[in-house]
Amino acid sequence: MTHDEKQIHELLTRYEALLNASDADAIAGLYAADGIFMPHGFDSAQGRDAVLRSYRAIFGSIALSITFEIDEIKVAEGLATALTRSRGTVRVNTTGASAPEANRELFVFTREAQTWRIARYMFNKAA
């Protein structure tokens, strides 16, 4: 694993932990200033402030307990991608009901101030 691949792997591990902690503020900090979050079932959010609002809205509705499996990390000059799968449970905050959760994810990363950040993130339900 290259140095860049290791950094991206660590970023994804941190992202997983922050999702499970419902920490919208810290997650928004993982995004590039012009990052775009494209969640399943919600409008796209562009820019760190919009990303933060989107995660806050999502975490107001649900809580996740998931793990990521990283299928691929590809690094090119200044950009990188990752394909991941996540599995676990989602709990509806208003009712406490839980259900299985499984998604496929596509991340695009960019370097910002010598740090890898999420530039684009999209996911959909696993088949």
Apex 22 CA angle, 20 and 26, nearest 5: 105
Do residues 121 and 36 lie in contact, with contact meaning Cβ atoms separated by under 8 Å? yes
Please report which confidence band the pLDDT of residue 42 belongs to, taking 50, 70 and 90 as the band edges: confident
**Mean model confidence pLDDT for the chain:** 96
Provide the 8-state DSSP code for 77: T
pTM of the model: 0.95
Q: Given this model, what pLDDT does residue 1 score?
A: 87
- pLDDT by residue (tens digit) across 60-108? 999 999 999 999 999 998 899 999 999 999 999 999 999 999 999 999 9
Sheet with 98-112: list strands edge to edge: 45-46, 31-38, 115-125, 98-112, 79-92, 62-76
d(CA 34, CA 51): 10
Apex 43 CA angle, 124 and 69, nearest 5: 25
- Token readout for 98 is 């839980």
Least confident of 16-20, 65-69, 109-113: 109-113
Q: Given this model, what pLDDT does residue 115 score?
A: 94
Please report which confidence band the pLDDT of residue 123 belongs to, taking 50, 70 and 90 as the band edges: very high
Q: Given this model, what pLDDT does residue 101 score?
A: 95
